[in-house]
Amino acid sequence: MTTRARLSAAIAVATLITGSAMARADGAPLEWQKTTESPRPPARVDEATRPLLSLCGAADTALTEVASANVRAQLAGGKIMASDELAFTLRAAGSPHVWPRAWSVAGQGLEDGDVERRVRAWIAGWKRLGAGRCGVARAVAPDGATVVAAVAVDALADLTAVPATARVGQWITLEGTMIVPATAAKVVLLGPRGAPRTVVASLTGDRVRASFAVDKPGAWLVQVLATVSTGPRPVLEALVHAGVAPPARYVPSPAPGEDAGRGAKADDEAMTRMVNAARAAEALEPLRRDPELDRLALEHSQEMLRQRVVGHDVGTGDPAARVGAAGVQARITGENVASASTLEGAHRALWASPSHRGNLLLDQFTKVGIAVVRGPDGAVWVTELFTG
């Protein structure tokens, strides 16, 4: 993942994929699509949801399926999926898009106009990149209450069919088409064991292509990273299950070091403990906090919050450029950035992302700057700036 000049790292948010299996939000077992691919336009659009789709994006079958599961969960007295389960369930539904957003409302006497106003308020804070795609579902409870749920993504690329199951040792060909301009692309694999590894990929015009073998039994997370206007970030993901059946249920999988931040007096201290505990779990030396890197990390987290965009290139240049401009001597530079509802959620998402785990476990890194900024809604905006 790292070069001497610039680290092509991706962006993580509080959505993660794991290969372990918790009941879906509506209690039903997951039914996996045979392939992960996009787009998945529906054969028809429900007229009752068409006005809401016009606000949040083009209709998508996989997103609609997940929104429907959230509606069923609320009808049964439960809650909509948390971000980690949401992303996992989206993979089962066959969608490769990352960073899904979920919304719902339930109540007696909800008028269509009121629901539309609430959807407008939900999307008001978005800074859109790519093509908006959305799924909307609604139902009426036995007591007459209306329940509406939506799931939306910014689609930055589309994916030709990748199988959800494969033989151990089978070669997989990945072909994607960028929706937004990209200057570079790569594929990172996170297998059932071992460190993530980068696969050589080609970017010709808007087409991304790579081939790889799933050579161990278990779940493989395949992540396409592309350098777009906000810097390097994941644009497509798929899960391939080699020699095993896809899980019927989902359970959260804590990241190594996730509990290490408990009792810390400050958010940045908590994140530092998590980072070094994760490294210790892999027998790696801890990273030393650097005041100048801390300052640069804080400026970047503040800028991400101000723009409400998670990215490497949202302020005064990419990580290597910012480090160089500050006069910091470094052979290699890398960065993890995330936004999540909790510190633990941010750390778990970074660990679950192949490219970000690569940063966390890179033995060439010796120093780190860490900053956490909290938004008005309590969400954390995290920057981890690594040098070596």
- Radius of gyration over every alpha carbon of the chain, rounded to an integer in angstroms: 20
Which pLDDT does position 25 carry in this prediction?
55
pLDDT at 13 over 80: no
Which pLDDT does position 27 carry in this prediction?
64
Average pLDDT (299-320) is 87
Which pLDDT does position 2 carry in this prediction?
36
Which pLDDT does position 3 carry in this prediction?
31
Q: How confident is the model at residue 324 (pLDDT cuts 50, 70, 90)?
A: very high
Which pLDDT does position 10 carry in this prediction?
30
Average pLDDT (143-150) is 92
Collapsing DSSP to helix, strand or coil, 378 comes out as coil
| Distance separating the N- and C-terminal Cα atoms of the chain | 14
Average pLDDT (133-152) is 93
Closest CA relative to residue 53, chosen from 188, 146, 149, 147: 149
- What is the overall mean pLDDT for the chain? 88
Closest CA relative to residue 198, chosen from 90, 33, 83, 355: 355
Q: How confident is the model at residue 237 (pLDDT cuts 50, 70, 90)?
A: very high
One DSSP character per residue, 226-272 reads: EEETTEEEEEEEEEEEESSPPPSS----PPTTTTTTTT-SSHHHHHH
Element (H, E) at 173: strand 170-178
Which pLDDT does position 29 carry in this prediction?
82
Output the six-digit token pair for 107: 């109540």
Instruction: Estimate the crossing angle of helix 267-281 against helix 343-352, to 10 degrees.
Output: 30
Residues 6+ apart with CB under 8 A from 264: 270, 273
Which pLDDT does position 26 carry in this prediction?
58
Which pLDDT does position 316 carry in this prediction?
78
Average pLDDT (176-181) is 97
pLDDT at 31 over 80: yes
Pairing between strand 165-166 and 207-214? unpaired
Which pLDDT does position 47 carry in this prediction?
87
Spatial separation of the C-alpha atoms in residues 66 and 197, rounded to whole Å: 30
Which pLDDT does position 4 carry in this prediction?
27
pLDDT at 356 over 80: yes
pLDDT at 15 over 60: no
Residues 6+ apart with CB under 8 A from 250: 18, 20, 21, 22, 23, 24, 30, 85, 88, 89
Residue 26 or 76, more confident: 76
Q: How confident is the model at residue 193 (pLDDT cuts 50, 70, 90)?
A: confident
Are the C-beta atoms of residues 192 and 221 closer than 8 Å to each other? no
Residues 6+ apart with CB under 8 A from 375: 305, 381
pLDDT at 19 over 60: no
Closest CA relative to residue 16, chosen from 221, 226, 188: 221
Global pTM?
0.78
What Å distances lie between residue 178 and 184, 193, 199, CA to CA? 11, 30, 18
Average pLDDT (353-357) is 85
Average pLDDT (29-37) is 94
Instruction: Estimate the crossing angle of helix 83-92 against helix 343-352, to 10 degrees.
Output: 30
Residues 6+ apart with CB under 8 A from 207: 175, 176, 177, 178
Which pLDDT does position 307 carry in this prediction?
86
Residues 6+ apart with CB under 8 A from 41: 58, 59, 60, 61
Closest CA relative to residue 256, chosen from 189, 338, 350: 350
Output the six-digit token pair for 93: 């539904």
Output the six-digit token pair for 161: 């069919």
Average pLDDT (8-34) is 50
Q: How confident is the model at residue 126 (pLDDT cuts 50, 70, 90)?
A: confident
Among residues of the chain, what percentage have pLDDT more than 90?
65
Which pLDDT does position 230 carry in this prediction?
82
Reply yes or no: is the peptide bond before residue 39 cis, omega within 30 of 0. yes
